[in-house]
Amino acid sequence: MWIIVRLFISGRMHQKRVVTALICWLAALVPIIGLSLVGFRFLPLVWAILLTLIMLAVFTLGFVHRISEAVLSAALIDEQFYDFGCTEHALRVAFDGESHYAKLEKLVPIRDRRRARR
């Protein structure tokens, strides 16, 4: 996920939908930092740390989910962005094929141990 932010900061990310989502989420980080500073000013230290960690965890979960959705939808729409995402490792693709699974040659039924004793 942070690869996408790095590509955005370096200026190599040009997909409008992804850039807009990144700017909105990074702009939403400013009020969270402000609320954390207010919490450290007016709340006890333990409560301020706890609330800051909870806010950052919720923000990170939302950020990862929405940015991943934007990258995936952009990759499905634009083939150039799909190729760019694959080459920059911002988009990882897993194919639904069975060729990479180990195949069993023969299955042998195993008898229950309780029945085997009799």
At 27-68, the pLDDT tens digits run 988 999 998 999 999 989 999 999 999 999 999 898 888 888
Looking at the structure of the chain, the number of domains it has is: 1
Q: What letters, b where the CB count within 10 A reaches 16 and e where it falls short, cover 48-86?
A: beeebeebeeeeeeebeeebeebbeebbeeeeebbebbe
- Domain span including residue 66: 2-117
Closest CA to 15 of 60, 64, 23, 1: 23
Summarize pLDDT for 77-96 with one digit per residue, the tens.
888 878 877 777 776 655 55
What 3-state DSSP class applies to 89?
A: coil
CA max distance for the chain: 75
